[in-house]
A and B are shown apart, each in its own frame.
Chain A
Amino acid sequence: MVDAFLTYGFLQRALLAGVFVAIACAVLGVFLILRRDAMIGHGLAHVTFAGVALGLFLKVMPLLAALVIAVLTALGIMRIKEKAGLYGDTAIAIFSSTGFAVGLLLVTLARSYNVDLFSYLFGEILAIKATEVWLSIGLATVVVVAVIFNYHKFMYTTFDRQSARASGIHVARLDVLITTLTAVTVVLGMKIVGLLLVAALIVIPAAAGLQLASSFKQAIFVSTFVALVSVVLGLILAYFFDVPASGAIVVLSFVIFSLFLLIKKEKRLW
């Protein structure tokens, strides 16, 4: 098994990109769940489809086109929530379905119903290119560093928004930052598990971590551990049993989440 990872470049690239993206997803996922924004990943994934379609239509790198569209949409969702007084899930539903519809039209116009498009929808980590690996590593590092630098501020605004504002924290600026980081993370996760499953990579490891943690730091570390185990084991399963890596990664993270749920229940009984 180790031989395969030492020998094949595509496995090394997949492992490298997977590890970095898993860390970014898990760290951000904890904040999103506690902010009651878990569904934003799902919504942005649909909009990202429009970005990918635009990239294919304009014949530019779909990952970059998706990144621009996802960030703009994320900021749009935030703005419409604030200005139009819409509930968060309503704003997400409007943008995500419209984004998916626009993507569908663009894909049809570009005649891009091909393998490339399906790799974005369902993920194809084993076929990830070297440039995409470096882009993933770079962006994932940006996400993690941004969270580390704003860790206490993010935690304070997530826990008690009003007191955080009264203590002089620029809550609106932090909202823009966390929303932008979410958009970046969705685009990163797209290459690993695909647009249709990327929300799972953000939400499930974080939800698992939150089952057992008694402190915020613990929640971040346990979530990251779950995400890493899911990605690495998922890749191994995908290679040896010839199953889609995206499916294996998400199912594994769900198994770990269920296990943690049982442990939590047992702990309560004792």
Chain B
Amino acid sequence: MDLAADNQQLLINVNNVSFRYDSVPVLEEVSFHIHSGDFLAIIGPNGSGKTTLIKIILGLLEPTQGEVQILGKALSEFSEWQKIGYVPQKATHFDPFFPVSVREVVAMGLLSQKRFPGRTRKEEEELIQKALEQVGMDSFKNRRIGNLSGGQQQRVFIARAVVNQPHILFLDEPTTGVDAETQGHFYDMLDTLNRKEQITIVLITHEIGIINKHVNRVACLNHRLIYHGTHQEFCRSEAFKNMLAGGHHLISHRH
């Protein structure tokens, strides 16, 4: 029982979720909670069901068993998707010749929610500007996104995900292919979003090295939930020792 979680709002409740691709089991009876203020890392080997779990929470896949509640509502009844931000795996694998500016990418997250289009209102422009400033990309807003580096593109996608000022932000392996120094800055930026902007962060990662410095909770997945709790307990747990023994990817961050 985690006492800290008692004072926090329950944002997401994953209850006994299982999922199969055809007859292959990917997730089996996974249950856990995400509370406001959490910076949760979901870790586990390749093919352990991490991305599938996130997709089920976001309503992109339907579980074969169990249910997910977001902000107290079952997925089928939940409609406030602007409160959820998402940066998918391989977000930067888009067509580099796609003629879209950084500002337009961020605006997608905000303006696609509008029922009737029209000129962007002043307050909408301010939200776009704020999101770009939060990720340190405001000076790039008129650049074509295909002309930026992978790390810069990833920041723009985070700006798009936070432009609606979401309660919770999901990131699926956001630093794949990004160099170690850029990764360090990247995780500092996520820290700021978590602590200053009060955005709950759920991060799928292979990098156990970031756990000590950045996250406060860990969910370790290998088809089943092997561990879920604070990062301090995780570092002392059998699950952690087993992952290290299995040669899991370790990256240390120096700042």
Contact = CB atoms under 8 A, between A and B. Distances in A.
B144 A214 contact: yes
Nearest to B170: A166
A155 B60 contact: no
Q: How large is the interface on A (under 10, 10 to 19, 20 to 34, 35 or more residues)?
A: 20 to 34
A141 to B, nearest CB: 16
Given A160-B91, A163-B88, A214-B144, A153 B100 contact: no
Given A152-B107, A152-B117, A155-B104, A167 B99 contact: no
Contact of A215 (B99, B111, B116, B161): B99
Contacts of B142: 214
B94 A166 contact: no
B98 interface: yes
A215 B59 contact: no
B81 A152 contact: no
A185 to B, nearest CB: 20
Most interface-central of B82, B100, B157, B160 (chain A CB within 10 A):
B100
Contact of A152 (B94, B97, B108, B144): B108
B58 interface: yes
Most interface-central of A148, A165, A213, A217 (chain B CB within 10 A):
A165
B108 A149 contact: no
Interface string A144-175: 00001101110110011011111111000000
Contacts of A159: 94, 98, 100, 105, 108
Contacts of A153: 112
Interface in B142-159: 142, 144, 157
A34 B157 CA distance: 19
Nearest to A157: B112
B64 interface: no
Interface of A: 34, 148-149, 151-153, 155-156, 159-160, 162-169, 210, 213-219
10 contacts: A149-B116, A159-B98, A159-B105, A160-B108, A167-B81, A214-B144, A215-B100, A215-B101, A216-B101, A216-B104
Given A163-B157, A163-B160, 7 more contacts: A160-B108, A166-B86, A167-B82, A167-B84, A168-B82, A214-B101, A214-B144
